[in-house]
Structure 1
Amino acid sequence: MTIRKFKKSDTTELSKLMIDTVLESNIKDYTKEAVNHLCEEYTSEKILIDSKKMSIFLAVEESKLLGTIALDDDLILRMFVLPKYQGKKIGKKLVHHIEDIARKRAIEKLKLRASITAYGFYKKHGYKKIKETDIKGIGKIIWMEKDLSI
């Protein structure tokens, strides 16, 4: 498995990966309405717009897209791994990749908004809970951060 930068030609497959993951994984912790709202955020059009302002990386094996993660300044966004590949250290590798990039950019602290579904994963990787908020149309989100200078 390799991690590489997003290319415009990845847009459709990336959108499908994100939506499929939300529909299968997040439905356990969020209402159907919240999941549908999230899916609207992961269209090909929105991914293309966002790719101009954030760094998006993909976990790929033999040209198959397995996972993704993005970095916007000091904020980790959109970390997804296809459900059938979860638990195989792909998410861990994606997070470590982003942390390495952040260190090279002299970012001392990374932040993220974890879903209920992903909270345990991030906690296991050293992220600490800052606060919980309710986002209209989605539900509970947990703000977390990790000090990279330690």
Structure 2
Amino acid sequence: MTAVRNFEAADAPVVAELIGRCLREVNSRDYSAEIIERMCAHFDAGRIAELATQREMFVAESDGVVGTVSRDGNKVYTMFVRPDVAGQGIGRILMRHIEALAAAEGHGFMETGASITAHDFYRRLGYVDVRTSETEFGLNFILRRPLP
């Protein structure tokens, strides 16, 4: 059973490790080693703790922290699932959790920026491409999904 709860400051090292693991084991298929290392440095424990003060952050637990997502209103940020449990619906659970929160606040859609690696994941959840942009880490897809 996977449960979603609010991020706590003590989660920062575990979440940073989870993100680094995702980037190195999964995103490295689509990005150079240099970009992956810059991304990992960007998401160290200190940065995760800082981000948690700027937006709502959540973790998914199932025998430890297995995923994370954050949001600011109807914008999705830092959605990662531990590679060894990918494909078990944890990402979907996290996304539906924050989508429900955004819908309850009256937002009509959810929006996210997606890496090349995550693009298909969001499309499978019903998100559609709006545009692309360039970031310091490369190509970024901007996607939206209407909320009920």
Same fold (TM over 0.5): yes
Aligned partner letter, 1:7: E
* Residues 80-134 of structure 1, C-alpha deviations (whole Å, 9 max, x = no match): 0011100001111111111111111111111110011111110011101011122
Alpha-carbon separation, structure 2, partners of 1:74 and 1:43: 24
2:116 touches 2:139 (CA, 8 Å); kept in 1? yes
SS in 2 for 1:52: helix
Displacement after TM superposition at 1:47 (Å): 1.0
Please tell me the residue identity of whatever aligns with 1:114.
A
Match for residue 91 of structure 2? 91
Distance 2:107 2:42 in 1: 27
Answer yes or no: is the 8 Å Cα contact 2:74–2:99 preserved in 1.
no
Structure-1 residue corresponding to 2:146? 147
SS of the aligned residue for 1:51 comes to helix
Moved beyond 4 Å, runs of 4+: none
Matches within 5 A, 1:1-150: 1-62=2-63, 64-136=64-136, 138-149=137-148
The letter of the residue matching 2:70 is A
How far apart in 2 are the matches of 1:71 and 1:134? 21
Amino acid at match of 1:28: R
**Which consecutive unaligned segments of at least 5 residues does structure 2 have?**
none
Given that 2:130 and 2:142 are in contact with CA atoms closer than 8 Å, whether structure 1 keeps it comes out as: yes
Q: TM-score by structure 2 length? A: 0.95
Amino acid at match of 1:147: P
Q: Give the number of aligned pairs.
A: 147
Aligned-pair distance for 1:73? 2.1
Structure 2: distance between partners of 1:142 and 1:60: 28
Whole-Å Cα distance in 2 between the matches of residues 61 and 30 of structure 1?
29
* Secondary structure of 1:4 counterpart: strand
Q: Tell me how far 1:31 sits from its aligned partner.
A: 1.1
TM-score between the two structures when normalised by the length of structure 1: 0.94
Identity %: 27
Find the residue that maps to 2:19 and give its secondary structure: helix
Instruction: Provide the rounded CA distance (Å) in 1 between the counterparts of 2:104 and 2:130.
Output: 24
